Structure 1
Amino acid sequence: MKSLSIDLETFSDVDLNKSGVYRYTESPAFEILLFGFARDDDPVTVLDLTAGDTVPKDVLDALTDETVTKWAFNASFERICLSAYLRKYYPERFVTYSIPEDSVRNYLDPASWRCSMIWSAYLGLPLSLKGVGEALDLEEQKMAEGKELLRYFCTPCKPRKANSGRTRNLPSDAPDKWEVFKKYNRRDVEVEMSIKKHLRNFPVPESVWEEYHIDQEINDRGILVDLEMAEQAIAIDSRSRASLTEKLKKLTGLSNPNSVVQMKDWLSAHGLKTDTLGKKAVASLLETAPDDLKEVLKLRQQIAKSSVKKYQAMQNAACRDHRARGMFQFYGANRSGRFSGRLIQLQNLPQNHMPDLAEARALVKNGDYDSLDLLYDSVPNVLSELIRTAFIPRPGMKFIVSDFSSIEARVLAYLSGEQHTMDSFARGEDIYCATASAMFHKPVVKHGINGELRQKGKIAVLACGYGGSVGALKAMGALDMGLQEEELQPIVDAWRAANPHITKFWWDVDRAVKEVIRTKGTREVRGIRFFYKSQMLFIHLPSGRDLAYVKPMIQPNQYGGESITYMGIGSTKKWERIESYGPKIVENITQAISRDILCYAMRTLSHCFICAHVHDELIIECGMDVSVDAVCEQMGRTPPWAPGLLLRADGYECEFYKKD
């Protein structure tokens, strides 16, 4: 046996969507119901473990045999479930990996596992088995009955008179459905095997599978959550909301000031009309509202804070050892291959700006609501800023947080040959000041000469690098920063004039992609190769990885010109035709290479306990004697496939996670 294709149907009383597979499998109620598998290309076998079927010896052997490749769609689910299964029923067969001090000890080594979902994502296809089957127009399609059967057999049910008060549906409760469920399990293995056959001419590079294994190790390791603090934060939030609601009731006379409809009507009756009570709308209203209404709006702002949801997500995801696992989806963004967040969503945590972070954190952990209410203007704001601090290292350890400095700006300048920007980085200059200086042809120093222009340089760097214009500046908050409407187009024009190589790069890429689609040939722009194969546009990156665009076409756009289009998951979350153009494809390329640099750093630092990563930042759990400078030096090493690219990593150490 060289490969084993697997699909499991399982039960647990833990909500998989809220808690993730690690916590899901820790429940005493967790069990594998059906075990579908195929040896190599053999027909699929379905084992009914509820009926006493036993897993064959060679299949059990294969689960820990590194020479047998295990395949599944979303393979992390099967790997973690089978880890729990082996530990419980075949403890003598269970083999973990890494060193004893590492918190991955309860899970099978991911090194011999492959995931057909990742393979699909690598080629620009959907992240669902149903979606991939439809996109590839497979003869074998996922059975439509599956969703209802999963709900029936795999999750608890509410006790009712009609079901004799049971809290779970067993095979004996619906034998006909159970037989269909076994067919569903068989079909999923067949679809997964069919996907592999269809994609065999487009293999995933071994280097990407190595990155996947590092990702799985980070997910297995998890990050420690201060559950005591999270619990106190939730209790304090409840008390704060009750207090704020009472104040609002007294000020407005409303029976439910949390009601958007009631609050909008009340504000309208007092001369302040608004269509929404969203964050931006309330902030805008506060600029002109009279003092009595300002107080109401500020209280409303505080009540609307949703920070407590993050603390609840921590409680849901934390395993028995208080570590939250499964936080990251490898290849979550298949345009670039970047990671996306799961469960607690570390990628969108509020920033912290409080100078007395440790003191405020101590008050929350002690449940001291009265002191918080006395010392701070807004208890909800305090709880929001403290979310990051609920992630902590193990006792006797510390966090080192290290991230790349201006990684996308560096990569974009490197790719396009924008020498003045690369020179600025080489001199260690502030990129926003350097950009403003190039735009306005005068020296700009942060907090110094012409310092007021730095803000314009910053917003230009953030908004204009990928073809953004006035709309992009507004979306980045240019008007909120105090810039005037009439300043925006001149900022765009000045940035483009100061960065001619970047703007040329956009349109060189645009032309190259269109030529490749028309001729089905190959083009190269500044070391980036574009080629067409089997109805796919590929962009070959310096790292050796490819970006894939399915069924690309040139079509007329709404402006009377031509646009590049391809099939992908669009803003509607459906498989549809997506419109693009040169600058947007340059954004994909730049973000993809930035992602490859992060993965190179993960590989360089794989001897460390990387327990999380956020955008271009690594969070490492380490001993007190580990040097921040040493970690940053290793993280900042330029990959051999990007000679001449100047990287810099900055870092700090902390006793809890925070933004320095």
Structure 2
Amino acid sequence: MKTLSIDLETFSDIDIGRSGVYRYADSPNFDILLFGYSIDSSPIEVIDIASGEELPEFIIEDLISNETVKTAFNAQFERVCLMKYLSKLLNKPIYLEPSSWRCSEVQAAMLGLPLNLDGVGKVLKLQNQKMSEGKALIRYFCMPCKPTAANGGRMRNLPSDAPEKWEEFKQYNVRDVEVELAIREKLAFYPIRDKEQEFYVLDQRINDRGLLVDMKLVDAAISCDHQFTVAATEKAYELTGLENPNSVSQLKSWLKGRGVEVESLSKKAVSELVEDTEGEVEEALKLRLLMAKTSVKKYEAVERAVSSDGRVHGLFQFYGANRTGRWSGRLVQFQNLPQNHLKDLDLARDLIKESRFEDVEFLFGNTPSVLSELIRTAFIPKENYRFIVADFSAIEARVISHIAGEKWRLEVFSSHGKIYEAAASMMFHVPIENVTKGSPLRQKGKISELACGYGGGVGALKAMGALDMGVEEHELRGLIDNWRAANPHIVNLWWAVDKAAIYAVKQRGKISIHDIIFTYKSGMLFVTLPSGRNLVYVKPKLSINKFGREGLTYEGIGATKKWERIETYGPKIVENIIQAIARDILAEAMLRLQKVGFSIVAHVHDEVICEVPIGKSSVEEVCNIMAEPVAWAKGLPLKADGYECSFYKKD
């Protein structure tokens, strides 16, 4: 089968980093400048479209044909840009099926490598690296320029404006194709598995489909926030007399003058201070919280990203979390939307859309919080459709119980499913009937379940809000000990995984435990999941860790967002494994839903949102499909719950 390797250089007046490739290519001013390609690794050719050259007919045929494999690093960019370009060129809608595309960025991510061409090239130590001059050339030719007297007032640089730079830009285009070819050659022994390619195609179709946006709500929310912020700032000026009431140093001085000394004015610190103050100090702190509310940023992100079809596309990055293979969010960060707890979302939405902002404040109180809770509802189904939302019940808790063989937990999940109550019952040796909803015991069981599954200690309990839930500080250590005593097989799993990983690296060999295979090969530790997919730890080494014992380190993108050496150990590896398995289960479920005709428009970790015609299908049908047994996870009890809605929300 013919393989066409592609790299594009393009122009648009839209900022791709802030708006995404779909909105970028949707601009009337979008154009392709250079089309660099290689057929079956033959010498690289560049078609200089910006200088008047045209795509040859055979290239257009190859792009449209599903019989020709197209490859690129971050292939979504090339595919989306080419769909727009070809639709305009041929004067008819062109859809490029993602099934004939292969993404070398995904292939690299599956081996734990960076999610950018430059980073992959450096880690793989390729002979030809991405040209460092590229960023300046992209700024010059691919983005609008500021009109000045020196450049004749032009708003865009063309090849004729800098012929030498243009020739260098063409060489940059050639180099990118060379680097992509070199990456594919280097990774040839680690091809994308057929199943993962299916998931990638599914992902691309979800991103292509996009989510419809209620722009009336979005525009009104932005307007409301602006009015509210102006009003709150004016109140703060009047109250404090400060030149800039948003200034940390100025507000600290003002507070000090009133007997309140603070180290931090973070949201958490201010929230705690509010409870211990009164009068003008309390009011000033409350105003700071209101002015610092960032709910509108999500609306602004939607506004930037929405395309001419009224939908936001490209919200999901396939294999964005390459430690587990889970999807990550892009643009609006759909995985991190605020929850909604308002009793009457419909009323709140209507009031905002009608610009009745004073009524919102009167009926609901905190306007910024209302806007924050409504951001989910800005995503709506198209006319005569509704959303069916379904999510797996306690998926990670079920998976870890299954892998570890914690029988009492599996029995719970196969019956009533009340894991928080059952955990409390096991931890405190009381009948489960005595653990009622809202009782202190259930709260302790819940917080322990959330914090302790991956080796979490006192810090994890605090981070999960144990103290805010009423647990006393002196109780924390006991909760951890009780949870671990109630779950000995899970605790054993942590340390069995720790030993297996160390053994595989130390012996340069292979070992299998709990249906997980650890293999050291070619300078990498492969952790093969029951699904057959590998988690990969690059250049693993053994060293003395922060616990004072022998532990594993590897290279990857760390907390600094840079490529660095990272420490890990049993419970952390187990967390990666469990989240990866949960991801595979979700991906399988989405594939099943797609195959029977459901249009998935979004997904969040363990949740799927389908756009379904009114009167067709049911919540029960979607939940049943999601909960179907997985062939490679026999005995794993799955359960999905769901609801339908006329705008996206948390039920």
Q: TM-score, normalised by structure 1?
A: 0.96
Q: Unaligned stretches of 5+ in structure 1?
A: 97-107
1:10 paired residue number: 10
Q: Is 1:469 equivalent to 2:457 in the alignment?
A: yes
Q: CA RMSD in A?
A: 1.3
2:143 paired residue number: 155
Q: Provide the rounded CA distance (Å) in 2 between the counterparts of 1:437 and 1:559.
A: 32
1:99 paired residue number: none
2:179 paired residue number: 191
Identity of aligned residues (%): 55
CA apart distance, 1:90: 2.1
Q: Provide the rounded CA distance (Å) in 2 between the counterparts of 1:118 and 1:273.
A: 51
1:655 paired residue number: 646
- The alignment partner of 2:512 has SS state of strand
Is contact 2:436–2:442 with CA below 8 Å preserved after alignment? no
Is contact 1:121–1:334 with CA below 8 Å preserved after alignment? yes
Q: From 595, 612, 615, give the equivalent of 2:605.
A: 615
Alignment of 1:45-124 (within 5 A): 45-91=45-91, 95-96=94-95, 108-124=96-112
Q: From 204, 210, 214, give the equivalent of 2:202.
A: 214
1:204 paired residue number: 192
The one-letter code sitting in structure 2 at the alignment partner of 1:206 is D
Deviations 1:523-543 (A, max 9, x none): 011111111111111111111
- The alignment partner of 2:564 has SS state of strand
Q: Provide the rounded CA distance (Å) in 1 between the counterparts of 2:298 and 2:322.
A: 26
- The alignment partner of 2:380 has SS state of coil
Which piece of structure 1 moves more, 632-641 or 407-416?
Answer: 632-641
Is contact 1:2–1:69 with CA below 8 Å preserved after alignment? yes
Deviations 1:603-638 (A, max 9, x none): 010121100111211111101122111111111112
Q: From 487, 490, 507, give the equivalent of 2:475.
A: 487
Alignment of 1:451-600 (within 5 A): 451-600=439-588
CA apart distance, 1:303: 1.2
Q: Provide the rounded CA distance (Å) in 2 between the counterparts of 1:202 and 1:579.
A: 25
Q: Provide the rounded CA distance (Å) in 2 between the counterparts of 1:268 and 1:396.
A: 59
Q: Is 1:241 equivalent to 2:238 in the alignment?
A: no
Alignment of 1:364-403 (within 5 A): 364-403=352-391
The one-letter code sitting in structure 2 at the alignment partner of 1:609 is S
Q: Provide the rounded CA distance (Å) in 1 between the counterparts of 2:3 and 2:91.
A: 23
Tell me: CA distance 1:350–1:447, structure 2 relative to 1, closer, same or farther (3 Å): farther
The one-letter code sitting in structure 2 at the alignment partner of 1:548 is V
CA apart distance, 1:580: 0.3
The one-letter code sitting in structure 1 at the alignment partner of 2:634 is P
The one-letter code sitting in structure 2 at the alignment partner of 1:619 is I
Alignment of 1:129-528 (within 5 A): 129-444=117-432, 448=436, 451-528=439-516
CA apart distance, 1:161: 2.3
Is contact 1:444–1:453 with CA below 8 Å preserved after alignment? no
The one-letter code sitting in structure 1 at the alignment partner of 2:118 is K
Is contact 1:67–1:112 with CA below 8 Å preserved after alignment? yes
Tell me: CA distance 1:39–1:449, structure 2 relative to 1, closer, same or farther (3 Å): closer
1:635 paired residue number: 626
CA apart distance, 1:321: 1.4
Is contact 1:445–1:451 with CA below 8 Å preserved after alignment? no
The one-letter code sitting in structure 2 at the alignment partner of 1:623 is P
Q: Provide the rounded CA distance (Å) in 1 between the counterparts of 2:437 and 2:299.
A: 44
Is contact 2:144–2:155 with CA below 8 Å preserved after alignment? yes
Q: Provide the rounded CA distance (Å) in 2 between the counterparts of 1:558 and 1:322.
A: 51
Q: Provide the rounded CA distance (Å) in 2 between the counterparts of 1:95 and 1:161.
A: 41
Q: Provide the rounded CA distance (Å) in 1 between the counterparts of 2:146 and 2:438.
A: 67
Deviations 1:466-512 (A, max 9, x none): 11111111121222222222111111111111100000001001111
- The alignment partner of 1:605 has SS state of helix
Tell me: CA distance 1:514–1:220, structure 2 relative to 1, closer, same or farther (3 Å): same
Q: Provide the rounded CA distance (Å) in 2 between the counterparts of 1:628 and 1:273.
A: 54
CA apart distance, 1:446: 8.3
- The alignment partner of 1:593 has SS state of helix
The one-letter code sitting in structure 1 at the alignment partner of 2:554 is Y
CA apart distance, 1:639: 1.1
Is contact 2:86–2:94 with CA below 8 Å preserved after alignment? no
CA apart distance, 1:449: 8.4
Is contact 2:421–2:442 with CA below 8 Å preserved after alignment? yes
The one-letter code sitting in structure 2 at the alignment partner of 1:611 is V
- The alignment partner of 1:603 has SS state of helix
Deviations 1:438-478 (A, max 9, x none): 11111345873892111111111111111111111112122
Q: Provide the rounded CA distance (Å) in 2 between the counterparts of 1:447 and 1:410.
A: 21
CA apart distance, 1:89: 0.7
Q: Provide the rounded CA distance (Å) in 2 between the counterparts of 1:449 and 1:514.
A: 43
Deviations 1:242-291 (A, max 9, x none): 11112222222223222222222212222222222222111221222234
CA apart distance, 1:558: 3.5
Is contact 2:316–2:327 with CA below 8 Å preserved after alignment? yes
Q: Provide the rounded CA distance (Å) in 1 between the counterparts of 2:281 and 2:180.
A: 59
Which piece of structure 1 moves more, 551-560 or 150-159?
Answer: 551-560
- The alignment partner of 2:555 has SS state of strand
Deviations 1:273-332 (A, max 9, x none): 222222211122122223432222122111111111111111111111110000000000
The one-letter code sitting in structure 1 at the alignment partner of 2:15 is D
Is contact 2:424–2:435 with CA below 8 Å preserved after alignment? no
- The alignment partner of 1:340 has SS state of strand
The one-letter code sitting in structure 2 at the alignment partner of 1:186 is V
The one-letter code sitting in structure 1 at the alignment partner of 2:623 is C
Q: Provide the rounded CA distance (Å) in 2 between the counterparts of 1:255 and 1:204.
A: 58
Which piece of structure 1 moves more, 405-414 or 253-262?
Answer: 253-262
Deviations 1:408-457 (A, max 9, x none): 00000000001111111112232111111111111345873892111111
Is contact 1:424–1:434 with CA below 8 Å preserved after alignment? yes
Which piece of structure 1 moves more, 275-284 or 60-69?
Answer: 275-284
- The alignment partner of 1:537 has SS state of strand
Deviations 1:355-391 (A, max 9, x none): 0111011000111112112222211111111110110
Tell me: CA distance 1:657–1:37, structure 2 relative to 1, closer, same or farther (3 Å): same
The one-letter code sitting in structure 1 at the alignment partner of 2:323 is R
Q: Provide the rounded CA distance (Å) in 2 between the counterparts of 1:277 and 1:112.
A: 53
Q: TM-score, normalised by structure 2?
A: 0.98
Tell me: CA distance 1:125–1:391, structure 2 relative to 1, closer, same or farther (3 Å): same
Query: How many residue pairs align between the two structures?
Result: 648
CA apart distance, 1:175: 1.3
Q: Is 1:31 equivalent to 2:31 in the alignment?
A: yes
- The alignment partner of 1:398 has SS state of strand
Q: Provide the rounded CA distance (Å) in 1 between the counterparts of 2:326 and 2:9.
A: 29
Q: Provide the rounded CA distance (Å) in 2 between the counterparts of 1:482 and 1:162.
A: 67
The one-letter code sitting in structure 2 at the alignment partner of 1:64 is I
CA apart distance, 1:18: 1.2
Q: Provide the rounded CA distance (Å) in 1 between the counterparts of 2:649 and 2:435.
A: 25
Q: Provide the rounded CA distance (Å) in 2 between the counterparts of 1:443 and 1:278.
A: 43
Q: Provide the rounded CA distance (Å) in 1 between the counterparts of 2:639 and 2:522.
A: 40
